Every structure is written in C-alpha cells, then in structure tokens.
Amino acid sequence: MLRRSFLVAAALTVTVPALAAQEKPLVLLAGATGKNGSVILQQLQDDPNFRVRAMTRDVAAATAKFGSEVEWVAGDVTKPATLGPAMKGVTYVISAVAASNQGEENFPVKVDLEGTRNLAAAAKAVGVKRFVIITSSVSGQVDNPMNKRGNDVIIYKGKAEEALIASGVPYTIVGPAGMTNNPGGVKSIELVPRSDYKMGQMITRADTATVVIAALTNPDAANKAFSVSNGTGPGTAAKDIKFAGLPAK
C-alpha cells in the first residue's frame, strides 16, 4: 500500500506541472523570425504566463537559426489555407509581419494588407481574444517619403489597420517610432496618440516587444491605436505601461 501511494504521488509531481503548462494561453506569433518578431519570441519564451507558437514560412530554416525548443508551425499570411492549422487552440495573436519588398509576392499590398486581412479572418474563426499588430507611428500617410522607396508601405500599413478593425477581432495597434537594436529597459516607454508623434523619436525593439506582450491581456489596451517611443526617464516595467486614456481607432 505504501509503495502504491508513493507511485501515485510521484506520478502527480510529474503530470500536474505539465497540465498547468498546457492551461496557459497560447500565443501565435506571426513573423517570428523577423527583426521585431525574433525579439518578441525571446521575451515570450521567458514569460511564465504564456505558451508561444511561432509561425514561419520555412520551419527547417527557423529551427536551424533559432533552435527546436520553440513550437514552430508552417504558415504564410498570403496563403489563407495555411493559417487554419496554425491557429488551432490559439488565444492571442501577435503580428510582427512586415513586407520585405523582395519580389511582388512580398510587397506591402500582399503582406501587410492582404496578409493582415487573412490572419484576422483566421483569428476570428477561432475566437481569438486579442490581436496585437505592429505597424508604424505614421501608418496611412499618403505623402510619407517611405512610400516611394517601399512600394507604398505606409499607405498599406494604414489599410492593414483598417482591415483588422473591420474584421471584428479585438485588437491593439502598436505604432513604434524609429527602431533600434539597443538594449531595452534602459529608458522610459512612452505611449501617446498618433497625433502627438514627433519625427525623430526612437524606441528599442526590446521595449516595443514589452509593450506588445503587455497589450495582450491588459483591458485598457483593447481596441486602441497609438505611437510608442522611448522617453528620457528610467526604464518602464511591463506592469507600469500606461494604456489607459489612449484613443480608440
């Protein structure tokens, strides 16, 4: 009897943590191998509150570069048929997808606009609770000079935001200032309405990732669109990021 009790207890010590891990909400990260996505991926792996599924067009290449500890899934936002399997069991979506402009299939109209529309439709089909997308602080500006060298990238980022909103999926739209690879957590994180964004402001990719992940579950971040940049104060912890008071879009 004593031996049987010991075996049952031993089994519980193994299975209970495993079950607890499976109960954590699952985040699908689209664009997981990109400059922004890879930073978000690292932070999600370190976050005890979530499980993460990283979506990529090429699982073999992603595994070789980032390792096999991540749950990789094949998916392409420009191909809707690939998104259903990737979305299975997902609670939250982060889109760090961005056009590369390497070939027409990777132009902003295909990746930013049509890709966002496809991903949002797939998210709606499984009842995703929040879709957080990284766009730009100047999304939608027709006369922005980046349009000339980026196949109207700023225009299509604005249209992508409109497509996400029209989908009916709860959303948060994060418009970062100019991006740097400097360490995060050094300077304060400032969230302001798009109308208050000033050209020349910057933010680290790491701090942007912190904002994106915090927005997944914060009720004050629901259906908001804003600019994010680094200020001059000391680093801001995720729990201290201020979403309240920001305008809806």
| Residue 205 pLDDT | 98
Nearest to 32 by CA among 10, 81, 78, 65: 65
CA atoms within 13 A on the CB side of 217: 12
Average pLDDT along the chain: 91
Q: What is the pTM of this model?
A: 0.90
Q: Write out the two tokens for 182.
A: 């400097």
Q: Is the pLDDT of residue 14 over 80?
A: no
Confidence tier at 150 by pLDDT (50, 70, 90): confident
Is 198 or 17 the better-scoring residue by pLDDT? 198
* Amino acid found at 71: E
**Does residue 137 carry a catalytic annotation?**
no
> Mean of the pLDDT values across residues 58-78?
96
DSSP string, 217-244: T-GGGTTEEEEEEEEEEE---GGG---T
Q: Which of 137-146, 160-169, 200-209, 219-228 has the lowest mean pLDDT?
A: 137-146
Nearest to 86 by CA among 31, 7, 18: 31
| Residue 101 pLDDT | 77
Considering the candidates 5, 68, 100, 136, report the single residue annotated as catalytic. 136
**How many percent of the chain have pLDDT more than 90?**
78
The 10s digit of each residue's pLDDT in 100-118 is: 877 778 899 999 999 999 9
| Residue 20 pLDDT | 58
The 10s digit of each residue's pLDDT in 20-50 is: 566 899 999 999 999 999 999 999 999 999 9
Q: Is the pLDDT of residue 154 over 70?
A: yes
Contact 211, 174 (CB under 8 A): yes
Q: Is the pLDDT of residue 91 over 50?
A: yes
Type and span of the H or E element at 149: helix 146-149
> Mean of the pLDDT values across residues 172-185?
97
| Residue 141 pLDDT | 85
| Residue 62 pLDDT | 97
